[in-house]
């Protein structure tokens, strides 16, 4: 079983829809959770950073962490064609990943149809 599972998609939704992206993980030591957005031929860009369980909102983006279920989500409201990208979840047991770095999902390819 992989440490982090993420559906690779592609996930195609119409413009304006609410998008839900998810990851599950197996390591109960993970406490720090991140979502990155990666456009084609670009490096990953940090979108959201959360610690432990709970919700965090930033503009159209909401990150949720449920440590009891080992499940994290990213919601995008009022989705735009410019949101079309690959979304990577990442997590770690220590702040910043420490010497072990971050553990990533494979990424979900999201397509927002105009």
User: Does 97 interact with another protein (rule: CB under 8 A)?
Assistant: yes
* 52 close to 65: Cβ distance less than 8 angstroms: yes
Residues 6+ apart with CB under 8 A from 109: 8, 9, 10, 11, 85, 86
Query: Which range in 10-18, 59-67, 73-81, 98-106 contacts another protein by CB under 8 A?
Result: 98-106
Q: Among 99, 92, 97, 45, which residue's Cα sits nearest to residue 72? A: 92
User: Does 91 interact with another protein (rule: CB under 8 A)?
Assistant: no
- For the bound state, the minimum distance from the C-beta of residue 1 to another protein, rounded and expressed in Å, comes to 14
Residues in the chain: 114
Query: Quick one: 54 or 101, whose CB is closer to another protein?
Result: 101
Q: How many Å is the maximal CA-CA distance in the chain? A: 42
Query: Quick one: 9 or 73, whose CB is closer to another protein?
Result: 9
Residues 27-86 that bind another protein (CB under 8 A): 32, 34, 36, 41-46, 49, 51
User: Does 88 interact with another protein (rule: CB under 8 A)?
Assistant: yes
Residues that bind another protein (CB under 8 A): 4, 8, 32, 34, 36, 41-46, 49, 51, 88, 90, 95-97, 99-107
């Amino acid at each position: 079983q992989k440490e982090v599972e993420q559906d690779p998609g592609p996930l195609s939704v119409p413009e304006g829809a609410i998008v839900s992206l998810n990851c599950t993980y197996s390591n109960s030591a993970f406490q720090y959770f991140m979502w990155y957005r990666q456009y084609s031929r670009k490096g990953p860009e940090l979108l959201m950073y959360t610690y432990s369980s709970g919700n965090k909102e930033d503009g159209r983006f909401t990150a949720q962490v449920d440590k009891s279920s080992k499940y994290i989500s990213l919601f995008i409201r009022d989705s735009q064609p410019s949101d079309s990208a690959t979304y990577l979840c990442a997590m770690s047991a220590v702040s910043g990943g420490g010497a072990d770095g971050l553990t990533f999902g494979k990424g979900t390819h999201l397509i927002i149809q105009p």
